[in-house]
Structures are given as C-alpha cells and as structure tokens.
Structure 1
Amino acid sequence: MSLQKILNKGKRFISDPHYRLRSMIKMGVYNSLSDEAFLRKIFPKYMGYPLNLDDPRTFSEKMQWMKLYDRKPIYTTMVDKYEAKNYLADRIDSKYIIPNLGVWDSFDEIDFEALPNQFVLKCTHDSGGIVICKDKSKFDKEGARRIINMSLQRNFYLIAREWPYKNVKRRILAEPYIDELGSADLLDYKMYSFHGEPKLTVVCSERFSKGGTRMNYYDVDWNYINLSILHYEPSNRTFEKPPHYEEMISLCKKLTKDYPFLRVDFYDVNHRLYVGELTLYPGAGFIKIEPMEFDYKMGEWLHLEGIHRS
C-alpha cells in the first residue's frame, strides 16, 4: 500500500466516525464482548439512539432482537451461498437459481482447466471478496488467490454478530459469469417480506458507478416511497415495475411464508428471473432510515410475539 493511501485512510479514520467504527470492529477491538453487549454498544453509534431489547419498536431494534433470540438452525443454511441453493431448489424451480460450477475448501483445490472461459469465484460464508473472470487467458490467478484467501480468513459473524454466519463452512464457490449480471445498468430488486407478505421493494441501481449505489423504495403496489438509507441516496431515475414483478411476488411469498422476516433478492435480466440470495438482517440491522417514522412503521409490520426464543 502506498504512503498516500495510508495517509488517506488515516485522515478518514479521524474524520469519519462510521469508518472509524468499522475499522475498529475489523481490528477486533470488540471481539471479547458477548453478542448482546456488542450490539448494545455498537447500535447507538450507527443509529443515534440506544438499543431497547426489552420493548423494541423500530425495525432496526427488532433486527437486533432477532439476532439474539430467533436462532433457528435453518438460518445457517440460508446464508451459506452453497447450501442456500440446495435449500431454494427444494422450494422453487431450479430455473430461478444460478447454477454452481464447483465448490472447494481451498484455492489450491480449484481445477481451473475444468472451468469455462468466464466464471465467478466467491466464498460461501462472506460478503464481498468476489473474483470475476471474463477471459481465462488474462486471468490474474495470484491476485485472485489473495482476494479469496483473505475472504476465507475473515470471520464475517464478528463484524455485526449476525450469528447464522458463525457456523457456515468456509468454502470457495464457482458460478457461471452471466454478462447481464455484471452490467453497470443492472438493477437489483430486494423484496422485504414480513410474515410471508411482501411489503416493499428496494431497487438498487448504479452499483458500479463512481457515485456509488442508489436505492429507491416502492410499496407492493409500486408507489414510490421517499426514503433515504444511510449513505444510499435515491436515484433521480423513475423505475417501472420489472417485467416479472408478479412472479417475484409469488416466489417471495412461497420462500418467506414460514418466517417473521426475510428479504429475497432478485435479478430480472435478459427475459429471465433469478433469485440472488436470501437476507435475514438487511444492513445487519444498522440501516439508518430517514425519516425515522418509517423505521417505526416497518417495526409495526414485524411481530415478535409468538417467536420461540432460541
């Protein structure tokens, strides 16, 4: 790392409290805390108000409550990028699932000769750490090794105490490279479902732009909701319903009917609908919603009564 990059990181560490907090978490400053103590300490730093676990009202508070007390073993399967596909295949048509090319325990086990010219590598337990190969003749194998091995070493659970990640087996997954999924214009549709009923959809756009990802919110009838989440400002674009919107609704209901909350991510590309992933705690429950009244509204949609405390 160059001296200038080190200086820039140092300046950001001093000036940006959220960056400083994330850096301290990654450095392991809070590793010794219990899950509850960690969440009570970190939540106010992200959200600006104390965490009430005795009588949670906001969606963000209820996400933390569920991290601590709604601990179904199936959740570990659902966040495992490899096992989640088997889980989905038992519930929906395989045409909606991006297929696997292989799964390995270590980078050295990967048979690159057997992989197609274009592919994607990712780790099963982590978020980020993705390697995209568009032309195997130009593939930087050693660069890929560094990225994947760094990801394999990362304990994703400790970052926000999303406990389902704690026991995910750390493996490397290869998938086909789907050109449309790497497009700068790709739209990612994230559907929030409460007790089996989709309530709103987030349209993520401009994911690879210099300005960063934009997020626009729509209710189930596709009416625009004026929200701002963290640093994800809404796009100035107006988004129409995706071509397979009704199909998304149907799939979402099927996949979420047995759970108090679940987010289902979709891609609607090239006349095809794909399920990207299942998410239990969007933004780890640290998504500062403005206006805050909507955080309370989303909290009203999520009923904790009757959830068996694991």
Structure 2
Amino acid sequence: MLKKIIKAFKNPRLVILYFMGFGIFKLIPDALFLKNKYQLIIGKKLDLKNPISYNEKLQWLKLYDRKPMYTKLVDKYEVRKYISETIGKEYLIPLLGVYDNFDEIDFNSLPNEFVLKPNHTSGNVYICKDKTKIDYVSLKKEVNSWLKRRYYWVHREWPYKNIKPKIICEKYMVDESDKELKDYKFMCFNGKVKCSFVGLNRNASTGLQVDFYDLEWNLMPFERHYPNSGNKIEKPKNYDKMVYLAEVLSKDITFLRVDFYEVNGQLYFGELTFYPGSGFEEFTPESYDELLGSWIKLSKNN
C-alpha cells in the first residue's frame, strides 16, 4: 500500500484521477468531468460533437443514451429477471442469497465454496474456496466498503447511479477440464456481435492478458490496455450459441458487452456491461480505436 501511495504522489495525474470521484468534484457536470478525465487518461481532447473512436463514443453514450431499463441491466441482482425472461433461467448461475448488509449473511447455511459480490459496482468480488479460512472481521470491513461505494461518481456511468446496494451470494463455479474458469466477452454493436475477447492468467504473476477474436475465432492483431497472451485458445463448444444469445440480449442497444461462462459444457450468463474499461483504455495500434468506433452507429434520437 505504501509503495502505491509513493508512486501516486510521484505522478500528480494519478492523484487527480483518484480524487475526481469524491468531494467537490461531484459538483462538476458529467460532460465536463468526462472531458477532463479523458484528457488525463487518454491524452486527447474528447470530441462529443463528432465522436469517432470507440472510446469517444462510449463517453457520448454515457451522456446521451440513458434509458431507465439500463439500471436494471447493470444491477447484478435485478438483471437475473431480465435474463430469465429473455433467454431462460437455465443460463443463470445458482443464487445462494441476497442481503442488504453483512450481518444478514448466514454463513452457517452457505456451502464451503461460494462467491460474494455487490450488485452495484464493478470489479468487487470475494471468492471463498474454504469456509474454515474466512477472516470474518476483514471480510465484513471489505463488504461494508462495497456497500458504501457509489460507482457512478468514479466514471459517471449513469446506469449505476440509482441502484440500491445489495450483496449477492452465488454458487462457486468450477470447470472440471480447466484450472481457470474462462470468461467469454462478446462485443455487440447495434445488436450484432463483431468480436469477442477472453481474459487469461488473471491471478498469475504476469498479470491479466487479453486476446481479441473475430467472428471466425481468429486472433485480432491489437491490444486494448492489457497485453495479449500470444496463445490462441480452443474455440468454446457453445460459441455459436453465445453469439446468438448475445445478440438477443443486446437487441436495440447501441453498444453492449455480454459475458458468458462455459462450465462443464453448460453455458452460464456472466454480466452485461455498457462501457468496457469505462471508455478509458488505450488501443495498440491506435487505429483499432477508430475501427471499433466505426462499428458503433449513434442515434440522434437518444
């Protein structure tokens, strides 16, 4: 932690970015906030009048595509109803419980392995593989920090603004054929899948690696923030079904990322994301930022 603090103060830009989600910065209108944050992270001016790149268009969508249903789609608890009604409850990871606070969780009734996560943020998760090793004091502190977090203020992702915070507990999923559960993420542009990506080695010392694939499951020659693994993995058995379901779920939505897991041959829904990387992740080569941007057709009716 101390090393991170020292590193931050050596780079004033990191300090500014951290504090932009708190205090007086909340008074800044969304458009001005996003323009400043985009300049700090991407190093370019954000053009909201004529957005061209993928990252620019995600910022535009944050501001001008605000349908009430989006709040339910990013709520990790409420979205389960949408999934059940749209493609079927058989694609849902079994739910073990939903709670308003930590003290409501009855750990005695939970299995030895489970997953806890908040319904209203991104990136927060607690994976329990052995209940006897839980540090309950530390876990309570972590869960309470989740409940206090207001993710909207971090990147001004509007759908998160009015979610009522809850903690959900799901079954811990394990694929018998692989040590690491793969998360297949489908990029849907105006209701059509154009490409997908897979995150690998998330817990390795080398850090997360991300590979993009075209519709024919060929590796695409670019990186977005994270390095490529350099290894083409086997095409998932349910790939065609994933593409079909992703397009069903993203129908009539300008841009949406739909995530699936393949566990022991069975397909499970992961989550829906409107702004991957919140539109602040650089492309290498940069030309792919514009290529993916050209696939997003913005509507003036938003």
Q: TM-score range by the shorter chain?
A: over 0.9
Distance 1:18 1:208 in 2: 27
**1:66 partnered with 2:61:** yes
CA change 1:288–1:21 in 2 (3 A) is farther
- Cα RMSD of the aligned pairs, angstroms, is 1.8
**1:151 partnered with 2:146:** yes
**1:237 partnered with 2:231:** yes
**1:218 partnered with 2:213:** yes
Quote how far apart the aligned CAs of 1:29 are.
5.9
Distance 1:191 1:19 in 2: 31
**1:55 partnered with 2:55:** no
Q: How many residues align?
A: 301
1:263 matched residue in structure 2: 257
Alignment check: 8 A CA contact 1:129 1:147 kept = no
Distance 2:230 2:299 in 1: 39
Q: SS at 2:20's partner residue?
A: helix
Quote how far apart the aligned CAs of 1:184 are.
5.3
1:299 matched residue in structure 2: 293
Code of the aligned partner of 2:169: A
Code of the aligned partner of 1:258: D
Quote how far apart the aligned CAs of 1:116 are.
2.0
CA change 1:206–1:198 in 2 (3 A) is same
Alignment check: 8 A CA contact 1:130 1:148 kept = no
- 2:185 is aligned, of 184, 190, 201, to 190
Code of the aligned partner of 1:142: V
CA change 1:37–1:142 in 2 (3 A) is same
Alignment check: 8 A CA contact 1:129 1:148 kept = no
Quote how far apart the aligned CAs of 1:21 are.
4.3
CA change 1:233–1:184 in 2 (3 A) is farther
2:246 matched residue in structure 1: 252
Alignment check: 8 A CA contact 2:30 2:63 kept = yes
Distance 2:107 2:17 in 1: 35
Distance 2:216 2:124 in 1: 35
Code of the aligned partner of 2:40: K
- 2:30 is aligned, of 7, 24, 35, to 35
Post-superposition CA distance 1:230-256 (Å, at most 9, x none): 2x1000212231111111111111111
Distance 1:209 1:19 in 2: 25
Q: Which blocks of at least 5 consecutive residues in structure 2 are unaligned?
A: none
**1:117 partnered with 2:115:** no
Quote how far apart the aligned CAs of 1:19 are.
4.0
Code of the aligned partner of 1:279: T
CA change 1:16–1:245 in 2 (3 A) is farther
2:269 matched residue in structure 1: 275
- TM-score, reference length from structure 1: 0.92
Code of the aligned partner of 1:143: S
Distance 1:200 1:143 in 2: 40
2:284 matched residue in structure 1: 290
1:79 matched residue in structure 2: 74
Alignment check: 8 A CA contact 1:184 1:209 kept = no
Q: Which sits farther off after the overlay, 110-119 or 158-167?
A: 110-119
2:125 matched residue in structure 1: 130
Quote how far apart the aligned CAs of 1:99 are.
1.9
Code of the aligned partner of 1:79: V
Q: Which sits farther off after the overlay, 221-230 or 64-73?
A: 221-230
**1:139 partnered with 2:134:** yes
CA change 1:209–1:16 in 2 (3 A) is farther
What's the % identity of the aligned pairs?
Answer: 42
Distance 2:185 2:13 in 1: 24
2:174 matched residue in structure 1: 179
Alignment check: 8 A CA contact 1:12 1:20 kept = no
- TM-score, reference length from structure 2: 0.94
Q: Which blocks of at least 5 consecutive residues in structure 1 are unaligned?
A: none
Quote how far apart the aligned CAs of 1:62 are.
0.7
Q: Which sits farther off after the overlay, 11-20 or 149-158?
A: 11-20
Alignment check: 8 A CA contact 2:238 2:267 kept = yes
Post-superposition CA distance 1:277-296 (Å, at most 9, x none): 00000011112112121111
Q: SS at 1:225's partner residue?
A: coil
